[in-house]
Each structure stands twice: as structure tokens, then as C-alpha cells.
Structure 1
Amino acid sequence: MFRFRPINLGVTLAITGTVVSLTAPLHSAQAQTTAPAQQLNRVEVTGSAIKRTQVEGPAPVEILRRDAIEKTGATSLNELVRNIASMDIFDQGELTSNSPAGSGAASFRMRGLDDTNLLVLINGRRLPVNALYDSSGAGASVDINMIPIALVERVEILKDGGSAIYGADAIAGVVNIITRSDYQGAEVYANYGISSRQDGQEQRYGLVTGKGSVAEDGYNITASIDYFKRDPIYRKDRELSKSVDFRRYGGRDARSGFSPYGNYVDPETGAFTGGSVLPCPAANLSGGICRYDFNSSLLTAYNGADRLNTMLLGALKAGEVNLTGEFIYSQSINHFESHPVPDYFTVPSGTGLIAGRFMQGGPRITDRKSILTSTAVGANGMLGEYEWKVDVGRAASRVTNNDSNYYDATLWTAATESGALDPTVTTNDQAFVDSLKVRPRRDGISIATYVNTLLRGDLFQLPAGALGFAVGAQFRRETLSDKPDPLSQAGNVVGSIQQSAVSADQTVKSVFGELSVPILAKLEGQIAVRYDKYSEYSAASPKLALKYDVLPELAFRASVAKSFKAPALKQLFGASEQGALTISDQHQCDLLGIPAGTTCLISAYQVNGSNPSLKPEKGKTYNVGAIFEPTPMFSGSLDFWWVYKTNEINTPTITQAIESGLVGRDERTNQFLIFTNLQNYQQRAVNGVDLDLQGRFPVNGLGRFTLRESITYTKSNRIKTAEGTDEYADTYIYPKYRNVVTAGFDRNEYSTQFVVRTTGGFWDTDEPKPIAEGVNRVAPYTEVDWTGRFGGIKNVFIDVGVKNVFDRQPPLSLTNALNNTYSQMGFAELYSIRGRFFYGKVSYRFM
């Protein structure tokens, strides 16, 4: 186990001690003024099931309200994440169009952990995970692109373990998306945006309407509809990504060896012989191999999108009982194109085997349709002095991929082996080509059905205040069905990967209890525990938190929580999937026995698969921090956090698999098979600091200036295996910090805001420290956004803005450029290559 070493507590105490000394005189002065007592309403804030009068409790919670969200100009939750320093970014699903499961999807991440470690709720209720995700478990999370930002009232981010309250799998934390409700009136809006290079055009239109007030009329109905369309941006249209030949940046030529001219391959070793079926143009010849540049056409650098989202909310006061209903329907349609079929083709010439690309077949096409539906009904009321609450709901994610321009492997092999079809020309009989084609289809559905019950209130009075409690029971059933067509399951589709079918379900029964304990007048404790029972395993998830109000201007908080995360259904019950892999690392070639002097560029297959023996991952989360407000104009928080995981599920790297002898041969092509099946084989320890400073500066007769500094610094991200402990912080996609500075000015109906976002640099390698000699350093990256709002016309609001004002392009990463595990656009998936972007929005409100 990693040792828990809170060595930064001294720093915390030193800083907060300084704040105490600075605020003590202010505290004395304020104490002389007595304000009239008033009854404060209690509200529920993510992090506790007990209502409270203060937003700041023992747990660190960041809240983004609607006005702040609108000022960012974000058109999706995925874009909004870029303005939240505590959230991580790995945006491959929005940047690439050739991933069968991930393209078009997006997810939340935090604390240097995978997206599956962060629980995403909508109005406190669970959503189903994306219906199509990899057999490794990657992507088994909520697709946040299916949640329209137009319907969001606020986003609450719990930044420590939420397992005891919300579910055992909330290891990194919880994101609770609260939608608009109790809306009265109507609002229509229209958005338009376009990049300075005249691409990536965005359009958005919507309507929100509501009638009735629950407090005054006893009912409310709120309805909304939002439509969003975005045109793609192509790799060929940006300097950095226009070619995979990165020799122009000091890298190597990463153009594909699957060439339309047909590179001969040695059937025994998988190595290229240096010859080709057709003469290779000089511009394509590199390293004795005929190359194909897949970035120079067709592939996207930023995917298009076509999304329709609707929501209907209802609330009714029936005597002493409040009834609620919620219906969400979201639809996303994507059209993806990738290059014509590449594969190993059997031919009646040369070595009898080529790495080719059949251009006559046209681009491979995937038409993807995703639908999210969520229906929930609830009731709450009072049972004496206690509040009760019941929610029942069902949510489903449905995804269908319809593919075209692929081929039946059996028919294809016979046709090319006999010479009836020449895969290196475009003059084959088209009718014969079409007779070999197949249209693979993949249907997935993920369903979450649940019943939540809650009882809360005050048990009795203690000397320091009321002892608050909450108890609840939950029932949840998760089902997953992923059905590729039979040819895809058999691995008999030329140009596609083998895909496994899954039909699985699990039931989870949970009970939990929470106490809010006023230990002393200024010391509050939170004690919570949850017990979750799955079919094969069960565990308790306790949490203990404290908040000490040293002064009205200063408070300390600390928490510790345990959690466990069950394997995803596909990790347990899926089958094997395999995809093409290019091996170019000399050490790997040596281990595979490739003869010395042979070019190390071996085409192989990587095989991933499930493991029914997987055990749950276990986690511990610690947080120690301070909240301070020395003056009404200045406030902030400082939190040190640690996350520890054991039994973490992962796949061995290619090198680890080869070193372990997890190597075989494909029966059809005799190419190497590299097995990287899932295992509970590692532990992880991540720790860092969150700092949030906010200033509010009103100027009489002018308006109000605001300034916010928010930074998350990750000190360490270590992985421990049987071979030792590796440090990944400050390496590829794990920068040590993200910083967001926001400066704004508001005057009546007018406002303007600048946002400066900085992502720290990192070593350009995905290998752990120590860093090898000669590895480059990726520079820090900063973007500046400007937004403005004008409301001088009655009921009309105009928003304009420029994102990435200075038209910054991402810094070069050769790890991304040269490794087909990533997008190969030349920059890490932490940024966008869109460049400067102009947008405007007009809203009209019917009062």
C-alpha cells in the first residue's frame, strides 16, 4: 500500500494562520455591529442528504450557477469543462471520427482518474452509462453530450469521495447537474458561431417556457427544446495536423504502411519487404515503404454534431404532498467517415500477402444515432417533523451504428487470392465490388432503473444545536445489451475490428445513513455510511468529515471516505475484441524475435478482453482544507486532497504484454497477436491542491468588478504494480496544473468578461518517470476568451464573444503524433485545434 503522508498540512496551517492574523481585527470590528436575527431557509447541496442553511459544509463543493455558465459562451457541458480548473480533460471522442465506441461521446474526469471513477447525476438521480463502450471498460460513463447545457440551472461538483451518500462508485467525486424548474414565462434564443478560418460553424436554437408557481399556484410546468448543429473541422485544414509525416517538426514519418499501392509483407515475420505491387510515387516513399497519409484528407480534427434535446418538468402540490415528474429526451446524430478499407490482403503475386488499402471501395462510413430517455416521478412530504421523499425512475441510453463500405472477409479473401479482384486498382467491376460489401450494424442499450427513498430531519437538540439525520434505501438495476452483427462478432468484416456481443445485468441494493453532528458551537461533524450489495460482492462505504469555524471569516474542514467500484458489465461479461496495431519500438521488435537489420515496423493485432474474475476496485479519499472570507469583497478556499486506489483494473501495456509472453499468431494472416486482457493488477495514489480565490469590487455609480483565480495542482499520480512504482504526473495528458482566471465587469443589464485558461506543460512521453534522455518538453498552453452581454432593449439580451482571442494553436506533442493509440494530430487531447472562434446569441424573454 502507498503510505498516507499529509506533509502539506503544515503549509495549510501556515497559510490559514496568516489569514487568521489578518482577519482578527476585522472580526473585532464586525462583532460590534449586531444584525437582526432572521430565519434562514435550508437547502440541499451536493455532498450531504441533510438540508442546511450554509452552502459551505464539511465537504468541498464547487457550484457553477446559470449566469456564470452563460457568460462562458459554452454550447455544451463538454465545452464548459474547459472553464473548470478542477476537472480533467481528455477529449478524444470529440476530436476523432474513427472510434466505433467513442466517437461523438464525451465524459467528465477528475483527479487524474478515469471517467468511470466520477459519478454523474441529474437532479440527484443516476443516468445510464453510454450504451457502447470498449471491452476494457473505457467509456463506461455518462455521455455528457446527451445533456443539453440550455436546460442546466447549475452544476454542483463534490470534490471528495461521495460514496457514502450517492453510491459506492463515487471514488473521485460527484457531478450533480441541476436542471431548470419552476420556470415562469417564455424565452426563445438563437446562437451562431464560426471560426476565423470559416469552418466549424455552430447553430443553436431553443425555447424554454413555464407556467405556474408551486408556492403561489400549487403547480408548475416547465418545458424546453434545444437544437444544436456543428459542422466538422478537418485535419487537412490546420497546419499542425495536415500530415502524419512529422519529420517537418523533428519527428518521424508516421504515415500508414497500409498503402493503395500494396506493400508486400513477409508472411512469416509480418515485416515489410520493401517492395510493392504497383510502383510507389516518390513523395510516398519513406524508409523503403510506400506510405499513405491519412491526415491529408477526410479525417476530422473536431467532429460535427447534430443534437436535439427536450425536457418536460412538472410539479404539483397535492395537499401536504408534493408531486414531481420529469421527462428527458435527447437525440444525437453523427456522420463519420474514415479512409477506405486497410487490411492484409492475400494476392497471387510476390509474397502472397500485402498491406493494402482498397480505394475503389470508398470511405468507410458510420452513421451513429444516440438517444437518451429519462423518466422519473417523485413525491415528498412531511411525516410529523420529518421529511420523506421517494423517487422512481428509468433511464436508457440507446446507440446504433450503421456502417457501410466494408466487406465480407470470406468472400474478399477468395476474390483477392484468385485475382478476381485487384485491391491496388480502382478499375475492378463495380458490380462485383458491391457484391462483396456488407453493412455492419451495432445496437446497444444501457438501462438504469431505480427506486430511491429518503427520510430526514432533526432527531433532537444537543447543547450546540440540532442533531440532523438522513436515512435511505435504494434499489437499482442496470442492464446492458451490445449486439454487433454476426459478421463483426466473428471478426469477418474487412476493415473493421472484431466486436463482442454482451447481454448482462446486475442488481444493487443499498442502504445509507448520515448524521450532521453539532459537536461544539463552532465544530460540525458529518458521519455517513452506506452498504451496497451486488450479486457477487458487497461492502460498506463510510465517511467522516469535520468543519471548524475558527472565526466568522475562517473555517477549516477535513474528510476521509472509503469507496469501492464494481467492474463494468462488459469488463466482466464481454468477449475478445481486436484491432490493428503497428509496432515500431525496437525493444518490442527484439522481444518478438524480429531479425536484426530488419526495419522495425511490424503490423500486428492487439487483443483486449473481459475477465469474469475481476474484483471491485477499492478507494480512499482524504481532504484537508480551509475556507476564508477576510472581507465582504474577498473570499477563497484551499484544499489538499489525496486519492488511493487498490485492485485497480487496467490492461497491460504492449511492452508489458510482450515481456510477459502474452503473444500469439493470427490463424488467417499469421500476424502477431498481442494480448492485453484486463486484470486487477495495480494500485494508484494521486494527490494535489485546489486553490480558489474570488474578489468582488463594487464601484459606486459605475458597476461591479469581479476577479477569480482557480487552480488545481496535481503533485503526484503514481501507479504501483508488481514491477515497482511509477510516477505519471507531468507526463502525457497528465499536466501538473490547470489554471482558470476570470475577470468580469457588470453594470445593470450589461456585462463583459475575460477568461484566461492555462494548462501546464508536461514531458512528451506516456512512459513514467524518470524521463529518458532526449524526450522533449511540451510547453504550457494558454487561451483567452472574451464575452459580452447587452440588455438595453426591453426583454432582449444579446451575447457576443470571441473564444481563443489570440488564435493560439496547441503545442506540438510527438507522443500523440507517432502513437496510434492517440489521435495522431500532433497535440494532446487536452485542447482543440479550432483556433479563434466568433459567436453571438440573441434571446427574447416573454414576461
Structure 2
Amino acid sequence: MLKENLFKLSMVAVALSGITAANSASAQDEAKDEKVVITGSRIRQSQLAGASPVLTLTREDLEKTGLTSLADVLQKMATSGAALNTRFNSSGNFGMPSDGGGVGAGGAEVDLRHLGSRRVLVLVDGRRWVSGASASGVSGAVDLNTIPMAIVDRVEVLEDGASSLYGSDAVAGVINIITRKDIDGWEMNASYGGFGDFIGAIDDGDTSTIEFTFGAVGARHSIVSSFSHVDQNVVFSKNRSLADTPLEGTGNTRGSSATPTGRFLFDDNGTTINVTPNTGATGLLDYPNDFHGFTDADRFNYAAYNLYVTPSERTNVFTRAKYDLTNTVSFFAQAMFNNRQSKNQAAPEPIFIGPEAGTGGIADTVSIDISNPYNPFGVTLDENNFIFAGRRPVEAGPRSYEQDVNTYFFTTGFEGSFDLADNPYFWDVSMSWGTNRATQLKTGALNAARIKMALGPLATCQADPLCVPLNIFGENSITQEMLDYISFTQKDVSENKIQMFSANITGDLFEMPAGYAGFAAGYEHRVQSGFFEPDVVAASGESMGIPASPTRGGYDVDEYYVEARFPLLADSDGMSALEVTTAARRSEYTTTSNVSFDQTTTKFGVLWRPMNELTIRGTVAEGFRAPSIGEFFNTGARNDATLTDPCLTAANQTRCEQVWGPMDFQALANLGQTQISVVTGGNDQLNPEETESTTFGAVFSPDWFSGDDFIEQMNFEFTMYDHEIDQAIGAVDAQLQLNECVINGRDDFCNGIARANGIGITRFDNGLQNLSKIKTSGSDFKLSMITSEGDLGRFRLTWNNSFVNEYTQEVFGQSSGDLDGIEFGSNPDRAIPEWKFDLTLDWSKNNWSASTTVRYLSKIYESCSDFLDDTPSSLANLGLCSNPNFNNNGASYNIMDETYYFDAQVGYTMELGGYDTLISVGARNLFDQDPPLCTQCDLNGYLPGIYDPQGRYWYVKFTLRP
């Protein structure tokens, strides 16, 4: 099909070139110069305010941030929510998200309006970009680390729903990345920076970049080529006070129960034994003399092995060429290759074994046989008396997850213009191919099947020439020979592909009293596919880590759209302008499992300019998000959820025994289980998410300052927004499901919850559903001002604010309540500040330039409760809650205070060696503001999608041009 379309593409170009060659295009050339396509509309029009709000970030805006990742820039926008970046160190050791997309280790994404990165459409030069590949699933979001800063001319951010123009995913907004074109000459950029007290004393996290861009423009052709390399080095959690323990101020009490000496729980004739070997005990241990009762002080500090900023090395090559076949028809081609080498790290993989290990796999069936030469207990620990054991094999060193990600994207096509009935028309046809393929190697992985054999009957182990009996009792008890037998290197691979054919046309339909009616129409055929192939050991369930299941599938879609703009009034009845726009798009999907569905979305907009200085605008839009490949076809994703077991409460225990039979509540209390294996799977019967979005606002550009000696231009912009998502895709929250089953007595919620031997929960099984509704509303305020060039130079001020008025989620009729200003209890790395702003003041005079930015985040509330509530080591009793409740620790909460960040940059332009040279020196987080402590976050003690990392970051940049 796509090859046929490629042939058709060339035939359409030839046919249209015949039409256009016969027309005189001089008048239309002027129109072409004056009118452009702006994100949010496919109709060429003047660069005036449209009906939808669009934020434009120029290349100058990008460069003055000093950042080396496009995602880092976009995540600092006032309208951005928490999204994946290189400060997330999770590689799946806590489990996989339910959407089958994997954890995206080493990737970076963007979130608008806090609706999630899957609900943001990312375009490059107006074309859909390929989704990321994380080597742990099939993602439904774009990895912005595949798009280097070096090739970006500007970024247009549509802060409105736009499925009627662009199709699926354009729910919260659209990010359109416009690449550099028409460069004649060359340019070289280099930078170096890192964390430290001042620029000459970089301590860690140093990052270097080199970019070279070349362009040539001729009478009929243009070409741009770019090479860039970014090398971002690591920051270790142990080197940050906020992250060197599982939670600052708690010591090891929130550490792992799998310790370097081992923790063992078993039943001794009705008495629960909970012991760990004494530190320093060596040789064959004697029980009970070499053991003591396990306490929270014995827990293991896994945080010391974690990474605070993950290393990432990215290399990119980009080329774009254009050739004018005639005066009105051009051929273009664009190609890009990007490679990312990145790494995550975690503490040595724990050995959790026994019926209550909660892995849901082989490890739950492991026994420690009496014949094991290292067993100190003199009995076989099996399902009759064994509860669980946890051993942290520090002898093996940390788990390392190394990602190798290759992205290829190629586009070719024709574009041109022609006249028909004295009206100008512009068209383009193109083909695109994109592939994102990731391989991840995990070293330090353990084989549960081999651990079972090595701890089992000695005769069985000796019958296998490779087997080495395993000693998990005591410090440094595991030898290299033992590790060689139970360890393996896990290799996982994932891929996303996209192939597209598109044809578009725009122009003027007919003349109206107030101007020409404009239109745009087009067709797109798209094929998307993806797969995730886990390592054979992990897929078989034999690994000690999170098990993985393969995913493979895809879909093809045919889409048709039309958009029209009608100018109704112009310079009449006291109105400067009044126009309406409307758009509709039809999307028809067929999946590889032969499931078909279609979606039609519409949009209506009004723009009223009652005077030249004031524009009032509004939009009403329908939208949708088709399920991702991971959501459709994932065969199983496991996540270890932190839960509070209601069966620990006496009032619920009768109900618990009704559901699961006789239970040992004392053993459950001794277990202290806080993480439960939750397994979710894809669902090829999912329906698309459906959305309704509205915006209303005004742009005021007063001409009071015309001719003013100081202020040259000033703009005020205000926008109110509202998004409602129905049939949002997700899995039932495990805590909600457990509470509904036990506390509210709903039997239908008990399905899929398993317990072992009447004690702890060993497994949750649930699948993805269209189960929830999300609603958010708020407002944005923007102020910009530019001064005239004066004795003090020229100043530019921009102030971007975003306010969240409401954010709610509803599942099965139960509302979450308003979540704005709240850290999500069920999503520990997400939070929604009620108010965010960035205020930037730029200055330039002669060869000097400077910029300073203030970023603000309002306070965030979070629960301040965990599994040690009502003990001396509770968060409240340790003084970590801003608002503790000492009578009921579970009711305590914490406020993450409002936070300000200050960034600054100074630049000087001079001639150096015959080249124009710009030298810039800057600092991010100039005043070394620490992120506020987050008591509920998974890693590193703060919200990495909201706040900057701990430390001041200095950098220097050089730009050379001939």
C-alpha cells in the first residue's frame, strides 16, 4: 500500500506541476510571503492571533536556557505537567506501568495540562513523530531525546485540543517542532557545564555538547545538514543529602527487608520466627547463637546505589534538502538518525523467596532444604513452615540497565502552489518512515530457577554439573562461583514503527464581504506497529526480577479532514474583524487483531476583534486518543504497588476470612508486607478515550505606547481552558480495589486478589479498562513587553502564568476529589501545583546580552503516612510532617513549600580569529534552592518531574559563525 502511495505521490506532483506551470504566480507569490501555516490551523493565513492559543519558543529562547535537551526546556513551561526525564532512575525494578509502555528508562517526554504525555501529540515540521522505545514495553508517547536541539528553529505549542486537525493524541495540546531551513553558511556550537559552587569547580553531572550545522542556498535549491553530540554524565544519589537514604531523616527504617546478611521468617510450631544473622558472623552459622530478632534498624539502604541524574550520550545526524523543479513545484527530502546510550542503576537484585515473597513466580515456591550444606536451622524450610526470606547479594554489585536506542526518520515529498479562478492554492504530498528501536542490557540479574535448585536438595544440585549450592546465610557468604551460577545478563528489545502517506491542500474558496473564505483539506494513511521482546529467562518467569511478557501488534488508519475559515465582518458596525473557523476529521482504524473502530471529531472557533488592540477568541473541540499498541496488545505488566492491607484492622478481619478463608492475622502483622505484585494486561477491545475541550480568552495589544520613547510593544493574553476525558484507559487502582473488596464488601472487586496460606497478598490480576473520567480546568495569563533601543539598551520582559482551578478523576462513580495542589498518592511521582509561572527579563546593548529567569511553583500537599504509622519511627514522630497528627499518624500531612528558582546568563559577541563569536556564561538554580522533601516519592526524596535537582548548575557556551 505504501509503495503504491509513493508512486501516486510522484504522479500527483507531475500533474500539479502541469497546472501550475501555466499560471502566472506573481500576485500569489506575495500572498505566499505574507501567509503561513501556524500550528492550530492548516489554513494559510496572516500571522495574527488565531482562535486557539499558541505559545512560540524561538531558537533564541531555547539557547538562553542553557539546557541541552528539548524535553528539559518544555518541561519548564508553566503549562507543563510532570513527565519522564533523565532524573528518573527507575528501570522497572519497581515494576512496569499498566499501559504496557514500559518505564522509558533514559527517555524524556512532555506533559501538557497534567493530562499525561500520551495525550500530547508531537509533530516535527507538521508531521507525526514516531513513539519512543524503552526496551521495557511499547510506549504510546514520543521520546524527545530523539530530537536534538541543534536542528530546532522554533517550537510551537498549541495549548488546546486539536484532534479534528491532527487526529489521535491531540487531547491536551500539540507540540510542533519546526526544523532549521534556508541556512547559508555554517555554525558551530559547543558547551560545557555541571553542578558545583562556581563555574571553575564542577563536582558532578558535567555535560558537554558539540554541534555543527552547515547550509547552502542556491537559485533552485537549499540544503541543511547538522551533526550534534551530547554527553551527560552521572550524579550519584549518595552525593546528595536529599537522596542518600530511602527517605531523608529516616535512616534505614524505610530500607529494604532484604539485607546483606539475610532476613528469615518461618513458623516454629506456631511461633513466628523473624531473624537475621549477626553482622560479622562468618563461616557456617549457628542458630540461634549467630542470629538476632529482625528490626527496622537492620533494613538495607538501597538508595546509596541509585542515580540522581542518569548518564546519557546522544549523537544525531540530520539533513534536509529542497529542490525547485519549476517555479511552483518543489521536491524535498529530510532524513535523521539519532543514537542514545544511557544507563540506569539500582541496588543489587534482592533474593526474595518463600510463599510470602509476593513475586507471583518461581521464587514463591523456593524451599531451603535440610541437606543444603549452609542451612543453619536443621529443618527444611518449605510451604509447611516457611514464610519468606530476603537476602541482598551485595557481593554481586549493583544492577545496571544500559540502553542503546536508535531512531531513524525519513520524509520525502513534493509541495507547490497553483491558481484556480484567480485564487491561490497550496498543496503538499509526502511519505514518511520512522523507526525507534531500543535494546537494554541488564547486568546483575538473577535466575530464580537456579536459585531454587541451589537451595534445594543437595543431591539434586549435585546431579547438575553446573549447579553450585547457594549460601544466603550471613555477610559475604555468596562466593563468585555461586554468583556465576545464579546470575545472567538480561537482554530486552522493543521497537516502534510508523509509516505515513499524507496529502494536503489549502487555499481561498471564494470572496466574502469581509475577505476570502479559506479552507484546508487532506488525507492521511498511517501504519503503526510495535513489539516488545523480553529476555527468554524473564519471559519464562525464571528471573528473580520483575517478570516480563511479550507484546506485538499494530494498526493502520485512514483519516480525512477538512477545515474552513469564514471572515464575517471587517471594519464595519464598529467591529474590526469577526471570523469563525470549523474543522472535522474522520479516523478509521483496523488493528492487527482485526478489531475496527472509527472516530469523528469536530472543532468550532470564533475570533472577534472589536478594535485593533483587542482580540477575543474561543474554541469548542471534540477529541480522542486511540489506545496505544501497549494498551491493546500487552500480555502482562507487573508493578509492585505499596498498599495498606485492610485485613490488618480488626474490624475488617471477619470480612477477610469470608473472602479468603481462615487467616493468620498475627503472621500477617509480623510480615509487615508493604509491596504487592499487581499484574495488568492489555485489552484489544478497548474503546478510544473521548474528550471535550473548550477555551475562551483575549489578547490585548494596546497602541498607547506608539511613538513612546521607551516601550515599543506590549501584549496581554488571558485564556481559560476546560478539558473533560471520558472512557479514560487504566487499570483499577490496587488500593481502591482492595478497599472496595474488604471495607465496602463488594465481591466483584475481590476477583484476582490472591493470598498465600491465609497471610499476605501474593498477587493482583486485573486488565486495562475504559474506567474513568478526568476533568481539569484552569487559566493562563501571559504578559510580554519590548522596549525601544535606548541608552540603557533594549529590554524584553515575558511573564507566563498557569493556574489549575480543578483536577478530578472519577472511577466507577467515585471521585478523587480536587487534586490540584496535591501530590498523587497512587502515582508517587506526579503532582499538580495550583500556580506555576516563569518570568524572564532579557537585555541587550551593543555586544553584550543578559537574561534572567524566575520560576515559581506553588505549594503542594501530600499525605505523610506509611507502614510505620503509630510507631516511634513514623514520619510524624520523626518530625518530617509539616502538619503531624500524633494521635492518628495516618491523618498527618506534609506541605511542600512554594519554590522559586533563579536562572541567569550573560553573553558577549566579538570577533575571534576572523569569526563572529558569542561567549555565554550562565547558571541554573543560581541560589542553590533545594527541592522540597517528598515523603511519598519512590526515589531520591523529591518530585523529579516538577522540581530541579539539588545543586547549582554552571555552564559556558561558545558559538562561532563566519
Residue type matched to 1:746 in 2?
S
Whether 1:744 and 2:845 are equivalent positions in the alignment is: no
When Rg is computed on C-alpha atoms for both structures, the one with the higher figure is 2
Taking the TM superposition and a 5 Å limit, the aligned residue runs for 1:623-702 are: 623-631=695-703, 632-658=712-738, 659=741, 660-661=749-750, 662-665=752-755, 672-702=762-792
TM-score (norm 1): 0.89
1:765 aligns with 2:863: yes
Given that residues 901 and 927 in structure 2 are in contact (C-alpha distance below 8 angstroms), is that contact kept between their aligned partners in structure 1?
yes
Matched, 1:489 2:489: no
Q: Matches of residues 162-201 of structure 1 in structure 2 within 5 Å?
A: 162-196=162-196, 198-201=203-206
- Does 2:803 match 1:731? no
Amino acid at match of 2:714: F
Matched, 1:620 2:688: no
Stretch deviating more after TM superposition (48-57 or 173-182): 48-57
Cα deviation, residue 427, structure 1: 4.5
Deviations 1:215-235 (A, max 9, x none): xx1101110011000111111
2:941 to 821, 825, 836: 825
Matched, 1:306 2:337: no
Deviation at 1:62, TM superposition (A): 0.5
After superposition, the CA RMSD in angstroms is: 2.7
Rounded to whole Å, the distance in 1 between the matches of 2:603 and 2:761 is: 51
**Corresponding residue to 2:392 among 331, 354, 357:** 357
Cα deviation, residue 83, structure 1: 3.6
Structure 1 pair 612–273 and aligned structure 2 pair: CA distance change class (3 A): farther
Report the Cα distance in structure 2 between the residues aligned to 1:638 and 1:279, rounded to whole angstroms: 64
AA at the equivalent of 1:647: Q
Q: Deviations over 1:613-648 (max 9, x none)?
A: 221110011000001111343102100000001000
In the alignment, the residues of structure 2 paired with residue 763 and residue 709 of structure 1 have an alpha-carbon distance, to the nearest angstrom, of 26
Seen in structure 2, the aligned counterparts of structure 1 residues 309 and 143 have a Cα distance that, compared at 3 Å, is same
Per the alignment, residue 557 of structure 2 pairs with 508
Counterpart for residue 430 of structure 2 = 391
Deviations 1:53-77 (A, max 9, x none): 1242111100001111111111111
Structure 1 residues 273 and 616, CA gap change in structure 2 (3 angstroms): farther
Taking every aligned residue pair, what percent have the same amino acid on both sides? 23
1:124 has 2:184 as partner: no
SS at match of 1:96: coil
State the match for 1:367 in structure 2. Answer: 402
**AA in 1 matched with 2:313:** D
What letter is aligned with 2:510? F
Q: How does 1:245-284 map to 2 (within 5 A)?
A: 245-248=247-250, 253-266=253-266, 273-279=273-279
The correspondence for 2:38, drawn from 45, 54, 61, is 45
Cα drift, residue 430 of structure 1: 2.3
Cα 1:759/1:618, change in 2 over 3 Å: same
Which segment drifts farther, 56-65 or 193-202?
193-202
The answer for the alignment partner of 2:917 in structure 1 is: 796
- The residue that corresponds to 2:567 in the other structure is 518
C-alpha distance in 2 between matches for 1:706 and 1:652: 49
Match for residue 532 of structure 1? 587
* In 2: Cα distance, 1:169 partner to 1:830 partner: 23
Unaligned runs of 5+ in 2: 1-29, 93-101, 198-202, 282-289, 354-366, 370-374, 459-468, 571-576, 591-595, 657-662, 704-711, 742-748, 824-830, 866-884
CA 1:803–1:183 in structure 2 vs 1: closer, same or farther (change >3 Å)?
same
Asked whether the 8 Å contact 1:584–1:600 carries over to 2, the reply is no
The one-letter amino acid paired with 2:194 is: I
Distance 1:475 1:280, change over 3 A: farther
Does residue 756 (structure 1) correspond to residue 854 (structure 2)? The answer is: yes
SS class of match (1:440)? strand
In structure 2, what is the Cα distance between the partners aligned to 1:588 and 1:46?
A: 55
Q: Are 2:870 and 1:815 equivalent residues in the alignment? A: no
Secondary structure of 1:435's aligned partner: helix
Task: Give the aligned partner of residue 322 of structure 2.
Answer: 315
- Alignment partners' CA distance in 1, 2:674 and 2:540: 24
1:478 matches 2:485: no
How far did residue 652 of structure 1 move? 1.8
The residue aligned with 1:577 is 637
In structure 1, what is the Cα distance between the partners aligned to 2:409 and 2:273?
56
1:674 offset after TM fit, Å? 2.2
1:272/1:203 Cα in 2 relative to 1: closer, same or farther (>3 Å)? farther
**1:59–1:557 Cα contact (<8 Å) kept:** yes
Letter in 1 for 2:148: P
Contact 1:285–1:291 (CA under 8 A) maintained in structure 2: no
Distance 1:602 1:194, change over 3 A: closer
Residue 777 of structure 1 is matched in structure 2 by 895
Match of 1:212 among 205, 217, 220: 217
Match of 1:409 in 2: 448
Q: Distance in 1 between matches of 2:624 and 2:266?
A: 48
Task: Give the 3-state SS of the residue equivalent to 2:449 in structure 1.
Answer: helix
Structure 2 counterpart of 1:242: 244
Please give the alpha-carbon distance, in whole angstroms, between the structure 2 residues aligned to 1:140 and 1:467. 37
Alignment partner, residue 110 of structure 2? 108
**Using the alignment, how far apart are the partners of 1:703 and 1:792 within structure 2?**
17
Q: Which residue of 1 aligns with 2:624?
A: 564
Q: 1:532 to 1:115 in 2, by over 3 A?
A: same
Question: CA deviation digits over 1:30-54, x for unaligned, max 9?
Answer: xxxxxxx999610111001111112
Give, as a single letter, the amino acid of the residue that structure 2 aligns with 1:341.
E
Change (3 A) 1:154 1:92: closer
How many angstroms does 1:809 deviate by?
0.7
Structure 1 residues without counterparts, runs of 5 or longer: 1-36, 817-821
Deviations 1:665-709 (A, max 9, x none): 579x99610234322111111000011101112252331111111
Asked whether the 8 Å contact 1:809–1:833 carries over to 2, the reply is: yes
**Cα drift, residue 84 of structure 1:** 1.5
Tell me by how many angstroms 1:431 deviates: 3.2
Match of 1:729, SS state, is coil
* CA-to-aligned-CA distance 1:412-439 (integer Å, 9 cap, x gap): 2110234711134535442343133222
Q: Which residue of 2 aligns with 1:335?
A: 343
Change (3 A) 1:266 1:107: farther
Closer, same or farther: CA 141–800 of 1 in aligned 2, 3 Å: same
Render the CA deviation track for 1:116-154: whole Å, top value 9, x for unaligned: 00100111111111123776x8x5200011111121100
Contact 1:648–1:681 under 8 Å retained in 2: yes
Preserved CA contact (<8 Å) 1:515 1:527: yes
Write the letter of the residue equivalent to 1:613: Q
For residues 461-482 of structure 1, what are the alpha-carbon distances to aligned partners after superposition, in whole Å with 9 as ceiling and x for unaligned? Answer: 0111101011100000000011
Q: Would you say the 8 A contact 1:97–1:300 is kept in 2?
A: no
Q: Could you tell me how far 1:82 is from its partner in structure 2?
A: 4.1
